[in-house]
Amino acid sequence: MSDADSGESTDQPAMEAARYPDGSILYPSHPVGPDGNEPVETVDLSEYTATLITWTSSTATPPGVRQPNHLGIVEFDVEGEPVRAIGQLTTDDVEIGDTVEAVYAEELREPGAGIREPESQAWDGYQFQPVE
């Protein structure tokens, strides 16, 4: 579990990535990895910190999405294996290279406001916030 001091330490799902036989780790997980094989185990990325690769602050957001919507692509270091993820940022006061941690959010955008069927996917997940 994340050590984020959000005060919501219970009932948080893992930020689940999948490790494949060739050692690569992908987030989100896929039925098969780059080597064509099924995953062998899961990794909870919320236990690690990540580096901000790039970010944007989007002002033209779709229905049910906060405005502006700060987004980042980050790279976790899982015992030497790089794992990228995309997600909302808690702030736009960031720079490329910043260290971030994953913090859980129960609802990232309003289900049903957009075109996608609300029941077809999850709407909770992890945002990224700068460490310190």
Partner 1 sequence: MTQFGQREAWIRELLAEAGQACLDDAGVEGSEVEHLYVSNMASGEFEGQTGIANAVAHDLNAIPAYTARIDQTSSSGGAGVYSAWQSVASGASDLTMLVGGEKMTHRSTAEATDVIASLTHPAEYKHGVTLPSFAGLTARRYLHVHDAPRESLAKVAVKNHKNGVDNPHAQFQKEVDLETVMESPIIADPLRLYDFCPITDGSAALMFCPESVAAEYTDDYVTVAGIGGATDTHVVHERADPTVMGGVVDSGEEAYEMAGLGPEDIDMAELHDMFTILEFLQSEGLGFFEPGEGWKAIDEGVTDRDGELPINTSGGLKSKGHPLGASGVAQIYEVYQQLMGTAGPRQVKAETGLACNVGGFGNCVITTILEASQ
Q: Is 12 in the site for partner 1 (CB under 8 A)?
A: no
Q: Is 14 in the site for partner 1 (CB under 8 A)?
A: no
CB of 65 to partner 1, least distance (A): 3
Q: Is 77 in the site for partner 1 (CB under 8 A)?
A: no
CA distance 112 to 116: 7
Give the three-state DSSP class for 46: helix
Query: Among residues 2, 12, 69, 129, which is the contact residue for partner 1, using CB under 8 A?
Result: 69
Q: Is 118 in the site for partner 1 (CB under 8 A)?
A: no
Q: Note the residues at the interface with partner 1 (CB under 8 A).
A: 26-28, 30, 53-66, 69, 71-73, 84-88, 92, 96, 108-109, 114-116, 120-125
